[in-house]
Amino acid sequence: MDIESRLKELFNEQKIIFWYDENGELKDEFENIEIDGVKKLEIDQNEFGIKVEVLTNKKQKYLIYSPYPAPKDEDNWLLDLNLANYIFRADRASLILDTLGLDLEFKEFIKEHLKFFNSKKRMQELKAKLEKENKESLIIKMASILLKSDETMESVLLKIFEKGSDELEKFGLDREIFEIASKKFGFEIKSVDDLLYKLFENYFAYNVYGKSHYKVDARVFLKQWMENIKYQNLFKQISQKIAKDLHIVNELEKLAIEQKSRCEVYEECEQEIIKWILGSLVAKENLKEILELIKSREDKIWFKEYENIYKALFFAAKLFDTQSRYSFSSFKNAINEYASIHYKADLYYRKYHYFREKSEKVELLKVLDEEIENFYLNAVLREANDQFDKFVKEYKVDEEHQQNFFKKFVKPYIDSNKKLFVIISDALRYEAAKELENIINKMDKFESETSYLISSLPSYTQLGMAALLPHKKLSQEDSDLVLVDDKNSSGIVNRDKILKSYSESFSAIWYEDYLKLDREKGRELTKNNSLIYIYHDEIDKTGEKDETNTFNAVQSTFDTLIKLIKQINNFNGYNILIVSDHGFLSTKSPTKASEFCPKPEGDIIRLNRRFVIGKNFTNKSCTHSFNANELGIESDNSYLIAKSINKIRVQGGGNRYVHGGATLQEIVIPVIKIRKKRVSDVRDVEVDILPISTISTNIVNITLYQKEPISEKVRPVTLKIAFELDGEILSDVQTVTFDKSDEYSENREVKVPLTFKGEIKNYNNKTIKLVARKVKENSSVEPIYKELDVKVSIAFFNEFDEF
């Protein structure tokens, strides 16, 4: 902007403007200026006359020029007019000061950085940001414009770490920023790398050793960076480089686990913790401590990279912590014990392998795999089923048998004129159903409960599927085909016919076909039928064809069944049962030769690794023998069931996924009863911040209270806790997940230490806010959850960390 234009702009608001041109260099400019309504006067030993004219003609606008510097106050005859009006300076630096509205004290600084102010765009951006500035705040705002960052020191530094300091160097601001950072953090800064290394080393030393020689702000800044979602990837990249350069793993290896557990800044911290956990698990030691340690890592910056491996280790610890001594008193007692508690070992084993494979760090877990296999095979499967095998001959078709499913669970809905959907999921094991129950109960407006039935023997698909249909009798002839009231029961078409023989309003449909229905056809199906059987087979299909992926199929089954539940609900179905035909045995390790039984001799109709159907058997010492009547079947056939977890030698591969026998895992089958509610019933747990009236130290322990235990309908909440005022963060930020299920209220209190930045001394005797922000998954938006007013009253602020 030229001088005349600037003066015209100023005269829009000013009536009298004084212009002191120190060396008279711009006198020609003055003489050539013509502004409508403005009279020009030049000071030339005529101060008294100028004062008289100005005071006489109060409506006139004046530009009063002097080719000399402004005189000292005691010699200035026009001092009163100077003070009451505007003084214009026309050198480049003064024009910039004038345009930005900055005080004269910034003139030398402006002169040193004229290159920055050559851009009209930068000038406009800076002017929009300026308030009441000091030199540091001005430098930070100038740097923020160059780096396109927020106008805080923290944001400027993060942009420097991301893009480098070249842009600042170009305009002579790099050293200025480093000087501000040096003052803030309490150490000399020679370069960007020097700054980064000192920040990381300091944070590590404080956490691990409790030592720091730098100001609190150095640690608070790094913690805030870790919590900043936008810059977390940058943090990780830099952390990896620094850890490698410093050979940090060598230092970590020397530390005790208590120290390692306090480390969070380097990825190697997680690796070393995982190594310790693996060693403890192999020795089957420190199981409770392992569970607590894994829990404590969940809010750490590197947890996501190791989440699946931590989950695998979590379930390994849970598996080793299960009761591995079984003492059953009867068939019924064993079933009840399994359904109430012992199923968990199967769940933990499955989840271990699921997350092991998902972790993509299978090699790291190889040291644990053999221990897991030996424990599960011998201390769980064999121990439990060898005990249970003593009572297998007590097996009978009673009220809790699969053959009574229709009578016990389906008929009450039909008799009450309530529409019912029955999802039959092939090989949905009881332990998996318990996990599915938990998933369903976390869904809004849904509730479910799981009971059990005893599957048919042999526990194979054709017989199990037939038993779940309405029937008067089940029979077999000279094949493994099962007849329902003398009708073929294999396949969807035949099962639909059997259902319709009881009522035209009964139907059967394949799950994939049901999921393809549009809203109109789906609701029409619901309207026209009172009972719909939906058949699903992901687990059994995968287990038979690709046994190593059985546990992945269980997980994908959950997704499919949830889709079916939601689809049924969308099609006006509100009552749902999920049931299975049989369970299964599955281990990751192949069966050893010593675990196989010799093949029985006789007239064999069906030979399976877990059972044989036929007549006139011999050589059947490692099996239980049943006649058809004992199994609730009309037939002349005999049935051999392999004892415990033994397998009958059969040609061909495939012995890791089997069913057909009488183990607890095969014959305890689930019935999940699902009901849709009208009212929303899922909510986040409520967390209270216990009040603190006054802050008197620079490190404050905040107490937060989770008001109730977590349950299926009460979800955990993750909060970021910090002190703030008007959007400025005044302390470090701590992330805490409130997910305690403890019934004792005192165990649901969490103490969170917050450390103030050095700026807190500027807020002494003022009220600031303790703010809890809610963390939303896959979102950078963190709305305020709760806030609390707190007065700052710190007599002495210790800028340095205690050591």
CA distances from residue 483 to 13, 243, 398, 677 in whole angstroms, order as listed: 101, 68, 20, 39
Residue type, 333: N
DSSP 406: I
Q: Identify the architecture of domain 683-792 in CATH.
A: Sandwich (2.60)
Residue type, 749: E
Does the structure show a pLDDT above 70 at 15? yes
When mean pLDDT is compared across 453-457, 482-486, 636-640, 778-782, the lowest value belongs to 778-782
Residue type, 423: I
793/763 Cα distance (integer angstroms): 9
404/236 Cα distance (integer angstroms): 59
Cis before 458? omega within 30? yes
- The mean per-residue pLDDT over the stretch 25-30 comes to 83
Task: Using the Cα atoms of residue 695, residue 697, residue 698 and residue 702 in order, give the sign of their dihedral.
Answer: negative
Angle at which helices 307-320 and 267-282 pack, to 10 degrees?
Answer: 20
φ and ψ of 412, to 5 deg: -60, -35
DSSP helix/strand/coil, 269: helix
Output the DSSP codes for 556-593: HHHHHHHHHHHHHHHTT--EEEEE-S---EE-SSPPPG
Q: Where are the alpha helices (DSSP H) in 210-342?
A: 216-227, 232-245, 248-253, 257-260, 267-282, 287-297, 307-320, 331-337
- The mean per-residue pLDDT over the stretch 309-317 comes to 97
| Residue pair 270/297 in contact by the 8 Å Cβ criterion | yes
Count H helices, E strands: the chain? Answer: 33, 32
Angle at which helices 267-282 and 362-374 pack, to 10 degrees?
Answer: 20
Angle at which helices 135-147 and 153-163 pack, to 10 degrees?
Answer: 40
**Residue 687 neighbours by CB distance under 10 Å:** 20
Does the structure show a pLDDT above 60 at 802? no
What fold does the segment set 402-587+667-676 form as a domain? Alkaline Phosphatase, subunit A (3.40.720)
Chain-centre distance for alpha carbon 79: 67
359/370 Cα distance (integer angstroms): 18
704/688 Cα distance (integer angstroms): 6
Please tell me the predicted confidence (pLDDT) of residue 695.
Answer: 85
Chain-centre distance for alpha carbon 241: 25
Give the residues across from 450 on adjacent strands.
Answer: 672
Does the structure show a pLDDT above 70 at 369? yes
Q: Tell the residue number behind the tokens 């902007």, with chain if given.
A: 1
The highest-confidence range among 47-61, 76-90, 571-585, 613-627, by mean pLDDT, is 571-585
Q: Tell the residue number behind the tokens 């299920």, with chain if given.
A: 741
Give the 3-state DSSP-derived string for 354-403, with helices as H, strands as E and coil as C: HHHHHCCCHHHHHHHHHHHHHHHHHHHHHHHHHHHHCCHHHCCCCCCEHH
Q: Among candidates 635, 661, 783, 699, which has minimal Cα distance to 206?
A: 699
Torsion, Cα 42 45 49 50, to 10 degrees, reads 30
**Residue 634 neighbours by CB distance under 10 Å:** 14
Half-sphere exposure of 802 (CA within 13 A, CB side): 5
Half-sphere exposure of 235 (CA within 13 A, CB side): 21
Chain-centre distance for alpha carbon 17: 63
- Based on its alpha-carbon atoms, the radius of gyration of the chain, rounded to whole angstroms, reads 39
198/214 Cα distance (integer angstroms): 9
φ and ψ of 401, to 5 deg: -85, 155
Give the 3-state DSSP-derived string for 97-163, with helices as H, strands as E and coil as C: HHHHCCCHHHHHHHHHCCCHHHCHHHHHHHHHHCCCCCHHHHHHHHHHHHHCCCCCHHHHHHHHHHH
pTM metric for this prediction: 0.84
- 38-42/61-66 β-pairing: parallel
216/266 Cα distance (integer angstroms): 20
With a CB cutoff of 8 Å and minimum separation 6, the contacts of 399 are 408
**Residue 67 neighbours by CB distance under 10 Å:** 17
With a CB cutoff of 8 Å and minimum separation 6, the contacts of 192 are 160, 161, 164, 165
Does the structure show a pLDDT above 60 at 1? no
When mean pLDDT is compared across 23-27, 492-496, 576-580, 794-798, the lowest value belongs to 794-798
CA distances from residue 661 to 544, 595, 618 in whole angstroms, order as listed: 16, 14, 19
- The mean per-residue pLDDT over the stretch 618-642 comes to 93
**What's the maximum distance between 2 C-alpha atoms anywhere in the chain?**
138
491: left (phi over 0), alpha (psi -120 to 50) or beta: left
Please tell me the predicted confidence (pLDDT) of residue 388.
Answer: 97
CA distances from residue 645 to 262, 474, 570, 601, 635 in whole angstroms, order as listed: 45, 27, 43, 20, 26
309/321 Cα distance (integer angstroms): 18
106/98 Cα distance (integer angstroms): 11
Residue type, 231: Y
- The mean per-residue pLDDT over the stretch 444-466 comes to 96
pLDDT band at 652 (very low <50, low <70, confident <90, very high): confident
DSSP 454: E
| Residue pair 631/643 in contact by the 8 Å Cβ criterion | no
Instruction: Kindly report the average pLDDT of the chain as a whole number.
Output: 92
| Residue pair 723/769 in contact by the 8 Å Cβ criterion | yes
DSSP 340: I
pLDDT tens digits, one per residue of 407-423: 999 999 999 999 999 99
List of E strands, 511-574: 531-536
pLDDT tens digits, one per residue of 318-340: 999 996 678 999 999 999 999 99
Q: Among candidates 524, 514, 517, which has minimal Cα distance to 561?
A: 514
Does the structure show a pLDDT above 90 at 361? no
Q: Among candidates 576, 551, 567, which has minimal Cα distance to 514?
A: 567
Burial code (b: 16+ CB inside 10 Å, e: under 16) for 435-473 equals: bbbebbbebeebbbebebbbbbbbbbbbbbbbbbbbbee
pLDDT band at 803 (very low <50, low <70, confident <90, very high): very low
Q: Among candidates 59, 31, 60, 127, which has minimal Cα distance to 19?
A: 31
pLDDT band at 672 (very low <50, low <70, confident <90, very high): very high
- The mean per-residue pLDDT over the stretch 640-663 comes to 90
- Show the tokens assigned to 614: 């036929």
Query: How many residues are there in the chain?
Result: 803
User: Percent of the chain, pLDDT > 70?
Assistant: 98
Please tell me the predicted confidence (pLDDT) of residue 796.
Answer: 60
Please tell me the predicted confidence (pLDDT) of residue 416.
Answer: 96
- Show the tokens assigned to 734: 């701590």
Task: Using the Cα atoms of residue 256, residue 262, residue 265 and residue 269 in order, give the sign of their dihedral.
Answer: positive
pLDDT tens digits, one per residue of 57-101: 989 999 999 998 889 999 999 999 999 999 887 777 888 888 888
φ and ψ of 498, to 5 deg: -65, -45
- Show the tokens assigned to 271: 């690796």
16/192 Cα distance (integer angstroms): 50
- The mean per-residue pLDDT over the stretch 374-398 comes to 95
- Show the tokens assigned to 524: 């029409």
pLDDT tens digits, one per residue of 689-743: 998 888 888 888 999 999 999 888 899 999 999 999 888 888 989 999 999 988 8
Q: Among candidates 493, 674, 709, 502, which has minimal Cα distance to 576?
A: 674
CA distances from residue 136 to 143, 190, 602 in whole angstroms, order as listed: 11, 19, 95
Higher local confidence (pLDDT), 663 or 793: 663
